Amino acid sequence: MKWMFSYLKPYRAAVVLAPLLMILEVCMDLMQPRLMAGIVNDGILKGNLEHVWQTGGWMLAAAAAGLIGGAGCTYYSVRASMGFATDLRDALFQKSQTFTFRNLDRFTSGSLITRLTGDVVQVQNLVQIILRMLIRSLFLFLGSIVMALAISPSLSLLLAAAVPVLFAFLYVLLRLSVPLYRDVQKKLDRVNTVLQENLAGIRVVKAFVRERFENSRFRKANEEHYGMSVRAGRLLAVNMPFMTLALNLCIVAALWLGGAQTWEGGLEVGSLAAFLTYTTQALMSMLSLGNTLVNISRAKASAERIDEVLRTVPDMAEPEADRSRSAEPEEKTGAAASPVSNGPRPIRIAPGRIEFDNVIFRYQASEGEPELQGICLTIEPGQTVGILGSTGSGKSTLVSLLPRLYDPTEGRVLIGGVDVRDIPSDRLRQEVGIVLQQAILFSGTIRDNIRFGRPDAAQEEVEAAARAAEAHDFICSFPEGYDTVIGQKGVNLSGGQKQRISIARALLAEPGILILDDSTSAVDLATEARIRRALSERLRGCTRLIIAQRVTSVMEADKIVVLEDGKIAAEGTHEQLLAGSAIYRDIYESQTGKEAIRHA
């Protein structure tokens, strides 16, 4: 949990002032029993009314000072904890933005949401507890012990016997509670994951009448979280009765032994009352300290989960961090390459040749069969390449290697002779545009979504991209036009409309390489044909990779690649594949209903 200190540095003044003000309040609280003892011993028993009034005035002044200290401590502890939590959430969100797809496969969306919300709240409360309750409980406990010892060393032996037993009890309680609360947070992760999946796919759930199944699935996750929470709560429920029993036993013993000393004249009545007050304060502080430590143990589990996210290193090294590969292999020809020095060389991304050099890829780096096996493919600048294959053949996986959504397990992916791993990811992804089959839109206006990659684009450019994507007409049909607010995930748009806005978004970025991952599946054939023509006119020098289920979408491509079981089964033009690929002929004949004419 040492990492927390770095996020508290900006609030060091509040972190220092809060405990100091709490110590002031504790000191004032510790004065009250001694002043009360003076009123009883020297005022009431001796009939000295002036002493009563004078000491009472000091008690009021001490109470006022304690009020200032307590209020000030609360103010600064809240300021420090809230600022700490705000910065921590920012850091976690920014860290999650650097994660690769492999990292995101490890941390589910539900788990990340829990860590950014519930876990951050836990450690926020931890900071406030440490700055306020822990300081108060600890100093009040120590101060009460010292004051009780000053009043009666013999009676203080009661506390000397009780305190070690109570501390041992708290230690065992903490050791048992930390793993339980870690499991509680994991169960909460599962609840959030099920909830997120259900809300994201609510239309599918209703379409297939699976409400009962989803209710059952959520109920199971919720009950598992409930069961684990009850286990943790049951363990901690022992704390209060045990500590209360110890407190009452100590008070009874103090009354019995102290009463005897008072009867014999060895201890004044006011001093006995003050001793009982200090004993009560000490044991109540220990009870509070126990509850505080339990809360700390719960927050410790959350802190470990947050630290796990912060310590995760993205598994794709940027070229500045990994310069073992040359950014420009062409310079190595001829004379021997000079050693790398003076920082990374600037990368120039030209619309060059795309090469997949014996690429092998596994989603789990060292487990199972590879999703892509021995892919060797060359795409010339400005070519349009269609990629066909059955579901699970590796089409989307293949193109995801170009913008480095994943890195190949073996082999290389090169653009213009440069390994994509030698190109800074932000530069690379500015040059590689991608339109997914499942269009992802964000809350905001249609204009905002189209300008997502180029926020400074002019309205004329936005409209030109929308026209090329066959989206301008339906956008203008809305009363608000380009200012139409899109609901969550584009709920107020059809599938085809969302896809066309996504295409317009990619076109506006003017990438050198454009990947269309079955991005016109919800568009009719006539509209798709118009989009293809517009793409050819607008992106003349752009290299296009088109993943499609319909053979008609790629028939006019310069090259068609047929994938099967993660391998290239065939490649060539439409005519070449009709003549030489049985798999392609089967796809063509099944979709068009025509028998393929085989050319010699």
Comparing 63-67, 300-304, 594-598, which segment has the lowest mean pLDDT?
Answer: 594-598
Per-residue model confidence (pLDDT) at position 390: 83
Longest dimension (CA), the chain: 127
| Statement: residue 323 has pLDDT above 70 | no
In terms of CATH architecture, what is 354-592? 3-Layer(aba) Sandwich (3.40)
Was domain 4-185+235-311 assigned CATH 1.10.10.60? no
Q: What is the pTM of this model?
A: 0.68
Please state, in angstroms and as integers, the Cα–Cα distance from residue 297 to each residue in 182, 238, 291, following that order: 9, 16, 10
d(CA 119, CA 115) in angstroms, rounded, equals 5
Which of 480, 509, 123 lies closest to 300, judged by CA?
A: 123
Share of the chain above pLDDT 90, in %: 20
Backbone torsion region of residue 566, taken as left when φ is above 0, otherwise alpha when ψ lies between -120 and 50, otherwise beta: left
Tell me the mean pLDDT in the region 435-451. Answer: 85
Per-residue pLDDT of 282-304, as tens digits, reads 888 887 887 787 777 778 878 88
Per-residue model confidence (pLDDT) at position 463: 92
- Strand 432-435 to 372-379 pairing: unpaired
* β partners of residue 371: none
| One-letter amino acid for residue 280 of the chain | T
Tell me the mean pLDDT in the region 489-514. Answer: 85
| Statement: residue 209 has pLDDT above 60 | yes
d(CA 559, CA 581) in angstroms, rounded, equals 14
Tell me the mean pLDDT in the region 181-186. Answer: 80
pLDDT class of 598 with cuts at 50, 70, 90: low
Quickly tell me which residue has 């401590």 as its tokens: 73
CATH 1.20.1560.10 maps onto the chain at 4-185+235-311
Range picked from 245-249, 262-266, 283-287, 374-378 for highest mean pLDDT: 374-378
Backbone angles phi and psi of 79, in degrees to 5: -60, -45
Cβ-based burial of 50 (10 A; exposed 0-12, middle 13-18, buried ≥19): exposed
Per-residue model confidence (pLDDT) at position 60: 92
Yes or no: say if 493 and 445 are a contact pair by the CB < 8 Å rule. no
Per-residue model confidence (pLDDT) at position 93: 92
**DSSP structure class, residue 151:** H
Which of 512, 549, 347, 376 lies closest to 434, judged by CA?
A: 512
Tokens of 154: 């013999």
Per-residue model confidence (pLDDT) at position 600: 40
Yes or no: say if 193 and 200 are a contact pair by the CB < 8 Å rule. no
Per-residue model confidence (pLDDT) at position 303: 87
d(CA 577, CA 560) in angstroms, rounded, equals 8
Measure the CA angle with vertex 398, ends 392 and 403; round to 5°: 135
**DSSP structure class, residue 565:** T
Q: What is the radius of gyration, based on Cα positions, of the chain? A: 36
Per-residue pLDDT of 560-594, as tens digits, reads 999 998 899 999 999 999 888 888 888 888 887 76
Tell me the mean pLDDT in the region 168-182. Answer: 79
Per-residue model confidence (pLDDT) at position 329: 36
| Statement: residue 332 has pLDDT above 70 | no
Share of the chain above pLDDT 70, in %: 91
Quickly tell me which residue has 């011993």 as its tokens: 41
**DSSP structure class, residue 386:** E
CATH 3.40.50.300 maps onto the chain at 354-592
Residue 308: which H helix or E strand, with range?
helix 269-311
